Amino acid sequence: MNKSDILKFLQENKDARGIAHWQQHKEKSGGLDSFGVGLTKLRKFSKKVGKDPELARQLWQSDIYEMKIISLLIDDPKTITVDQAESQVEQLKGGYLTHVFSSCDATLAKAPFVVELADKWIESKDPVRRDCGYGLLYEISKNTKKSAPDESYFLAHIAHIEDTYAEQPISVLMSMAAALMGIGKRSKKLNAAALKVARAIGPIDFDPNGRCEPMDVTKHLTSTYIKEELGI
């Protein structure tokens, strides 16, 4: 497929409701236009496109939100470079792209340098990088391979979250909370450590309009499912 094929798909699947929602949240648009196509449909379509780093680079240059999303989804983690990641994170502007860029089964999270990049961004003075760093940490916490970091790695990050959460903007705090939730599902020891910090943070009221329930990591980490999984 090429860029014209992608544009044709978006034009044929544009959603008026999605466009209206996009226009209501211009502050998170990053100055991009949108066809209102949902992420689930974009993921399904991207699987048909397949991995195509060259096409991904072309789509990333677009000023259309969905093209950038497809760019992220069809990129190849084996060919992504640190320089590319640093260039792209500069263009996110804290908008809707951030979630798919660094979390939500992000392609970047599958890159061989993800641990080093997450650690670097978590320490950054840039809140967008910190947001993405914790998004990547959440993805790292889902890794069940032998190559995954050990408990000491995650305990160190829990301690860092405990020391710094109070000074974070809401976007970074939400990513911290997601990371705590992921880490706390790995083992009894990590669950106890993450739960201690989650209780200190408390439910996070991230929606000023009151349409969404506050994010409560404690509730997730004490669920019957997690207790049974970890044998607590």
Q: For 102-125, what is each residue's pLDDT tens digit? A: 998 999 999 999 999 999 999 999
Domain assignment present for 7: yes
- Of the three residues 42, 76, 110, the one that is the final residue of a domain is 76
**Residues whose CB is less than 8 angstroms from the CB of residue 186 and which lie 6 or more positions away in sequence, other chains included:** 141, 151, 154
Crossing angle of helices 151-164 and 188-201, in 10° steps, is 10
Do 225 and 119 have their domain in common?
yes
Domain assignment present for 160: yes
- Of the three residues 45, 76, 107, the one that is the final residue of a domain is 76
Do 70 and 102 have their domain in common?
no
Average model confidence (pLDDT) across the chain: 94
Task: Write out the residue range of the structural domain in which residue 26 sits.
Answer: 1-76
Domain assignment present for 81: no
Euclidean distance between the first and the last CA atom of the chain, given in angstroms as a whole number: 50
Do 44 and 114 have their domain in common?
no
The residue count for the chain? 232
- Of the three residues 76, 106, 133, the one that is the final residue of a domain is 76
Do 179 and 214 have their domain in common?
yes
Closest C-alpha to 154, from 133, 184, 125, 124: 184
Per residue in 136-175, pLDDT tens?
999 999 999 999 999 999 999 999 999 999 999 999 999 9
Q: How much is the pLDDT for 96?
A: 85
Domain assignment present for 42: yes
Do 114 and 52 have their domain in common?
no
Q: How much is the pLDDT for 210?
A: 67
Burial class (CB in 10 A: 0-12, 13-18, 19+), 144: exposed
Predicted structure pTM score: 0.93
Domain assignment present for 86: no
| Residue 63 to residue 47: CA distance in whole angstroms | 22
Do 60 and 106 have their domain in common?
no
If one counts every other C-beta atom within 10 angstroms of the C-beta of residue 20, the result is: 10
In degrees, rounded to 5, the angle at the alpha carbon of residue 122 between the alpha carbons of residues 76 and 69 is 35
| Mean pLDDT, 10 residues at a time, the chain of 232 residues | 96 94 79 93 96 97 95 97 96 85 94 98 97 98 94 98 96 96 97 98 83 89 94 91
Q: How much is the pLDDT for 230?
A: 94
Q: How much is the pLDDT for 122?
A: 98
The structural domain count of the chain equals: 2
Residue showing tokens 């660094």? 102
Q: How much is the pLDDT for 23?
A: 86
Closest C-alpha to 123, from 160, 85, 68, 94: 160
